Structure 1
Amino acid sequence: MRVLAAGSLKTVWPALMAHFPEPVDTRFGPAGLLREQIEAGEPCDLFASASEAHPQKLLAARQALAIMSFATNKLCITVRSDRLQAGDDWYQLLTRDSLRIATSTPAADPSGDYAQILFTRMGHVGEVVRKRAIPLVGGRDSAAIPAGRLAAEWIIHTDQADLFIGYASYRAALSQIAGLTVIDIPEAVNPVARYACAVITPEAGRLATFLRSEQAKAVLREAGFGCDF
């Protein structure tokens, strides 16, 4: 079975597939770009996306048989620790003009789309933040993240930005890296990332059903994802 899956699933996917009884060949990438590849004819049995919008487009174009939600995520901020000031919270960090903000690439990578929603929810101040934010990963022409590195860690430690807005499922791993601090974003403004899979071939229905199972939910929760779909 051939799967195209969102890059944010890469760390949890082996643990999930360890409980699935069939061999699965998986390639990871930004969900928006993967969807375009499927539309262009890339062979695929199941597409696991970090946004419901991309599977829905395939379903509307009759390139998918069904779509199923299977996980949720949210955003957090990873900041270079020595840029923090006493009492800093998410809002102060994003609105401090001296800090360089990085995100994933909107349209190509859902993480970038969710960051745009965050800026909108911040109101007029968010429009200023939006203009300052630089999409550094997840785009067609973005530099590749080195193997074994997390986007936030790589961007900050190579001095491309002072903070990165990305998925909270990476929180535990990022919190263990020296020189980085992870800051939560309140639920009132934090968009919910809803993961969904597009069933492209009938055989993929078994994998889609597994991703919604209690066993899969336990693995996803352990990895920092939500299952309130």
Structure 2
Amino acid sequence: MTTTLQLFAAGSLKRAFIPLCQQFSAETGIPVEVSFGPAGLLRERIEAGVSCDLFASANTAHPQALLQSGQALSVQSFAFNRLNLTARKIPETEDDDWLSLLANPALRLGTSTPGCDPSGDYTWQLFEQLEQRVPDIGLKERAIKLVGGRDTLTVPEGQIASAWLIRHDYTDLFIGYAHYAQALENSDDLRILDIPDADNPHCEYQLAVLSKAAETLAAYIVAEEGQRFLAQAGFLPLDGK
């Protein structure tokens, strides 16, 4: 009897990993059960002893911590990402660039939760860089941590956080991962704004292999077929950082 692999994966990987794991199982006959969530909270579950064979994190810090503690057998980078800004498309936001929108105190600014979710950590890194250039911009003070935490909002299945939060009037702006842009680019009610490379944090995704059984799946993710699913979902490839 083939043992089901337990995969813990950052929520941002859902659009890539659901079809990826289905294809992997079809090719190998190895079933995979995936649990998605904020990577920081998934790491806490692993450290608490919850069974997991492979952990796909949206950063390197969590896999590296598991490696240092001896819980991970190995770690390996498998994808890259960027941040972008999604804004409600109204007359007050139609002509401003990304930095002007962030600096506008009249606009509510939503984020994920630092510490619990790497998206929040990357966002805080962006804020720290901007606050060095614009000392009074006050982004951390204004930011509303809407998702990715222990007691934050739950985005409905199949919805993209930035679009859902803005459309349900929780915020006017949201900093999130840029790979969602391709799914939102034709939205008439939203503006999707790039953040320049000079300001954009380096979002590196990494695998932590926690059992020998997971090595086949880890190898599949970093190989050509797995990378194809990630590229189709909007992630930057390993050779395109």
Give your verdict on TM over 0.5: yes
Using the TM superposition, name which of 122-131 and 85-94 deviates more.
Answer: 122-131
Please give the secondary structure, in 1, of the residue aligned with 2:183. helix
Q: 1:104-123, aligned counterparts within 5 Å?
A: 104-123=112-131
- In structure 2, relative to structure 1, the CA distance for the partners of 1:149 and 1:85 (3 Å cut) is closer
- In structure 2, relative to structure 1, the CA distance for the partners of 1:74 and 1:84 (3 Å cut) is farther
Specify every segment of 5 or more residues in structure 1 that has no aligned partner in the other structure, as ranges: none
Please give the secondary structure, in 2, of the residue aligned with 1:18. helix
Q: 1:71 aligns with which of 76, 79, 93?
A: 79
Q: Assess if the C-alpha contact under 8 Å between 2:16 and 2:232 holds in 1.
A: no
Please give the secondary structure, in 1, of the residue aligned with 2:127. helix
Per-residue CA distance 1:25-63 (angstroms, 9 max, x = gap): 101000000000000001000001001100111111111
Q: Which runs of 4+ in 1 moved over 3 A?
A: 83-87
RMSD over aligned CA atoms reads 1.4
Q: Which residue of 2 aligns with 1:182?
A: 192
Q: Assess if the C-alpha contact under 8 Å between 1:31 and 1:108 holds in 2.
A: yes
The answer on 1:51 being equivalent to 2:72 is no
Q: Which residue of 1 aligns with 2:101?
A: 93
Q: Distance in 2 between matches of 1:4 and 1:83?
A: 42
Q: 1:196 aligns with which of 206, 219, 224?
A: 206
The answer on 1:13 being equivalent to 2:17 is yes
The normalised TM-score by structure 1 is 0.95
Q: Assess if the C-alpha contact under 8 Å between 2:82 and 2:203 holds in 1.
A: yes
Report deviation, 1:86: 5.2
Q: How many aligned residue pairs are there?
A: 229
Report deviation, 1:83: 5.2
The normalised TM-score by structure 2 is 0.91
State the percentage of identical aligned residues.
48
Q: Which residue of 2 aligns with 1:158?
A: 168
Specify every segment of 5 or more residues in structure 2 that has no aligned partner in the other structure, as ranges: none
> 2:195 is matched by which residue type in structure 1?
I
